Amino acid sequence: MSSKIYPGAKEALQGLADNMTLLFGGFGLCGIAENSIAAIRQAGVKGLTCVSNNAGVDDFGLGLLLQNNQIKKMISSYVGENKLFESLYLSGKLEVEFCPQGTLAERVRAGGAGIPAFYTPTGVGTKVAEGKDIKNFDGRDYVLERAITGDFAFVRAWKADSFGNLIFRKTARNFNPVMATAGKITVAEVEEIVALGELDPDQIHTPGVYIQRIFKAPKLEKRIENRTITQ
């Protein structure tokens, strides 16, 4: 087996090209693959469709790719903290597919599991359901949602072993495990890489079978989006 460990983000992007669909783990700025995003910006690829719970903020996360006009379409649940996103969308420079958060997670999970589509009651009777198949099961309407897969998926983990088994730390788990399953090539940037066998099997969140490339993150900002303090 060839090594899954790469020197850094730049090398792990081999094969990345214009007009690809990219999946990103994270929730807000928690657990995002920030080194991978910076490398994608530097690579300069254009016309990207990006799938993420949110679109970062104006100067960090996926906001960096929006600044560089690299994203053609966003498939997201929440984008309320990014003013650039708003201006690009309102000016017609960015296509947006809003998706309820649970539905987004399930669409990606289905893609990773090889399930092409599923029915859900979420969104029935709203704009979310427009143009989609509606069926009634046991007296309740459900809307058909298509699964999501990507050319690449980018996740961030706390620890990995050399096979790519991953452990995420606390709330940084969020969308990362599900995104990891649905990329043709999944890149994991991690805080620590250990030898195979050092991780407790009962603590592994994502099996290494889903991971093709790993690199040790040289730095992680771990930004805090909102801090509440008392006087």
- The CATH number assigned to the domain holding 154 equals 3.40.1080.10
Query: Is residue 133 in some structural domain?
Result: no
Query: Is residue 134 in some structural domain?
Result: no
Question: Can you tell me the distance from the alpha carbon of 193 to that of 201, in angstroms, rounded to the nearest whole number?
Answer: 15
Predicted confidence at residue 1, as pLDDT, reads 54
Predicted confidence at residue 204, as pLDDT, reads 98
Range of the domain at 50: 9-115+148-216
Question: Can you tell me the distance from the alpha carbon of 86 to that of 98, in angstroms, rounded to the nearest whole number?
Answer: 13
Predicted confidence at residue 170, as pLDDT, reads 95
Query: Is residue 187 in some structural domain?
Result: yes
Nearest to 148 by CA among 82, 52, 212: 52
Question: Can you tell me the distance from the alpha carbon of 44 to that of 221, in angstroms, rounded to the nearest whole number?
Answer: 22
Q: pLDDT under 50 in the chain at which residues?
A: none
Counting Cα atoms < 13 Å in the Cβ hemisphere of 206 gives 36
What residues have CB less than 8 Å from 206, skipping those under 6 apart?
A: 155, 157, 165, 166, 168, 176, 177, 180, 181, 188
Query: Is residue 156 in some structural domain?
Result: yes
Question: Can you tell me the distance from the alpha carbon of 52 to that of 21, in angstroms, rounded to the nearest whole number?
Answer: 11
Query: Is residue 21 in some structural domain?
Result: yes
Query: Is residue 179 in some structural domain?
Result: yes
Count of domains observed in the chain: 1
Predicted confidence at residue 79, as pLDDT, reads 82
Query: Is residue 206 in some structural domain?
Result: yes
Query: Is residue 165 in some structural domain?
Result: yes
Predicted confidence at residue 105, as pLDDT, reads 98
Predicted confidence at residue 158, as pLDDT, reads 97
Query: Does the global pTM surpass 0.75?
Result: yes
Predicted confidence at residue 19, as pLDDT, reads 98
